[in-house]
Amino acid sequence: MLEVTGLEAWYGQAQALHGVSVRVGEGEVVSLAGRNGAGKTTLVRCLIGLHRQVRGTVRFLDRDVTRTPAHQRARAGMGWVQDDRGIYASLTVEENLLLPPRVSDRAWTMERVYEAFPVLAIRRRAPGTTLSGGEQQMLAIARALRTGARLLLMDEPSEGLAPVVVARIGEIIREVKAAGAGVLLIEQNVKFAATVADRHYLLSQGRIVETLDNSEFRRREGELL
């Protein structure tokens, strides 16, 4: 469903991505690992249409979207769970969940969200500002699920969270996969990536330096980053 070929990205004269090619199939969870500054966030921003200084091709659901504006990519079914979570602090949990537009018939109902994330049901009237890191991350993921996105781009969803919350996020990713959506998981936590992803790309200095299946990734887990 996502096919990226020879992607190059620049910040002014400085090139951040050098010919990156990655693909994510339907019902596939793919991780992208790499150290700080490797280019992970730049790649996600290129995919969703927030970084426009690019060359190469991004195809999504058999359409070339390389020059397609971000809002149209979102409407076509690209969902983004951003690393800073992007919660609207002045809105309640429920208002944050009601905001996203529905883009497909896979969109999760409020009932389903509250069943999957009981903590959000308990905190439904709480303002976004008062949520813990784990609650914010749950809300960010739930908001993407509310749209019915066909592809979820998740930027460091496990960062800074307690193991029990990380495990819950893993369960949700498996549920999304079982429903046939694709997931591109940006993740420096290789242990977590190994528990949820089918395949892994390793990004270094703007280049994909390794593509590994999950058994190989597990074998080399300790030496990868």
Contact footprint for ligand ATP (CB under 6 A) = 11, 14, 16, 34, 36-42
CB 11 to ligand ATP: min, Å:
3
Q: Closer to ligand ATP by CB, 42 or 158: give it.
A: 42
Q: Closer to ligand ATP by CB, 15 or 92: give it.
A: 15
Angle (nearest 5°) at CA 17 between 11 and 20:
150
Within 52-189, residue ranges assigned H as helices are: 70-76, 93-98, 110-116, 118-122, 133-147, 163-178
CB 15 to ligand ATP: min, Å:
9
Q: Closer to ligand ATP by CB, 34 or 148: give it.
A: 34
For residue 20, give Cα distances in angstroms to 12, 87, 98, 224.
18, 30, 36, 19
- Euclidean distance between CA atoms 59 and 76, whole angstroms: 12
CB 147 to ligand ATP: min, Å:
24
CB 127 to ligand ATP: min, Å:
28
Q: Closer to ligand ATP by CB, 39 or 128: give it.
A: 39
Alpha-carbon Rg of the chain, whole angstroms?
A: 17
